[in-house]
Amino acid sequence: MRARIRQGLRSSTRQQGGRRRRAVSAAAAVAIGVMTLGALAPPAASASASASAAATARPDTVQRSLNALVRDDGMPAALASVQDRNGRTRTYTAGVGDLATGSKVPRDGQVRIGSNTKAFTAVVVLQLVGEGRIGLSATVDTYLPGLVRGEGIDGRRITVRQLLQHTSGLPDYGIHLDDDEIRNRYFEPRELLDIALRYKADAAPGAKWGYSNTNYVLAGLIVQKVTGRPLAEEMDRRIIKRIGLSHTYFPAPGETAVREPHPQGYHRNPANGPLRDFTELDPSAGWAAGQLISTNSDLNSFFTALLAGRLLPAAQLAEMRTTVPAGTSGLRYGLGLTSRPLSCGGVYWGHGGDIAGYETRGGVTDDGRAANVAVTTIPTDEAAAQRVKDAVDRALCG
């Protein structure tokens, strides 16, 4: 899980010295593999596209991007959902849903969305801020007294805002977990925190931006302390049911399968090793940082509702959209929300996530366009990772 738990925002952590290749994520989320498929090469793209309505982006442009991800970058499958300014949606698939059987890719199938979960967690925290139950400037110790202590680490000096914006300086527990170690292991959130606290701080609170899944485990623990309810229940009540995300859920303890039609997810560890089926795994190492399962269309609906002000009061949405630089590619990080420049001008807002078996990238524009792309293995080189982001850019700019 060393490479995938960091999955959280593979899009940004990739830019921090190539950490992508280490093998884990909870952000990033979770991952491990047992069933070796050998050096299976994905078959040529079996592209298909059907529209529920016309989309702004040219269908052939998006479809060609997915076909290339399968054909040239070795993705077993690629899926996309593109929504225009009027809410009309087109879905796409390429590749195969199962390398062993050659089955079709389920249209808008469920995938593990990794660190997109952080955006959901941040929304719950910010809703509680709006209700006056959590303060962004309050320290971690206000809610979890004495819990966060370590070498250079003191919960009396770290604020809730710093957790959500990854400026706390807390070390990332995810880089210390191995994919194969955690596939069938259940982790309590406190265990994940304890792993992080064995290591010294990466920086002083507020000194710099640094992606850490530990931040969101603490955010989730604060939600539970303040509400007296499990994070999964709060997320379901406050977001998923509220805006009707019918294909999104927080897997229950011990739940390793994906509930609805889905493409199989595959993982390479090491990067030049064979593809292994990682579809079934225990995602608890991701928890508040990376445990959710969803679809491309549901992610588009979530980020659209968020940016439209349907989930947060204006003041808290403005806080969420207040960003700091994250890496060198123009990516900026707010409170569980990122902005990324578009080739056609402006930016799109989203998050992104990796977990062994799946990568998702996408977001929405301020004028209502939305696109999300999922692939069924995490790219093993920077060029392929960039081409997944490029597919999102083409869908939004086409």
Fold of 6-397: Beta-lactamase (3.40.710)
- Give the pLDDT confidence score for residue 148 in this predicted structure: 98
Q: Evaluate whether 290 touches 299 at the Cβ level (below 8 Å).
A: no
Three-state DSSP state, 223: helix
pTM of the model: 0.89
Question: Does the annotation count 339 as an active-site position?
Answer: no
* The two three-digit tokens of residue 103, written as one number: 């089955």
| CB burial of residue 37 (10 Å; 0-12, 13-18, 19+) | middle
**What are the residues whose beta carbons fall under 8 Å from the beta carbon of 327, sequence distance 6 or more?**
12, 15, 16
- Give the pLDDT confidence score for residue 44 in this predicted structure: 42
- Give the pLDDT confidence score for residue 328 in this predicted structure: 77
Which is the catalytic residue, given 11, 115, 284, 297? 115
Domain ranges of the chain: 6-397
Counting Cα atoms < 13 Å in the Cβ hemisphere of 207 gives 9
Residue 341 to residue 349: CA distance in whole angstroms: 9
* pLDDT tens track, the chain, 398 positions: 343 444 434 333 333 333 333 333 333 333 322 222 333 344 444 444 444 444 444 448 999 999 999 999 999 999 999 999 888 999 999 999 999 999 999 999 999 999 999 999 999 999 999 999 999 999 999 999 999 999 999 999 999 999 999 999 999 999 999 888 888 899 999 999 999 999 999 999 999 999 999 999 999 999 999 999 999 999 999 999 999 999 999 999 999 999 999 999 999 988 888 999 999 999 999 999 999 999 999 999 999 999 999 999 999 999 999 999 998 789 999 999 999 999 999 999 999 999 999 999 999 999 999 999 999 999 999 999 999 999 999 999 98
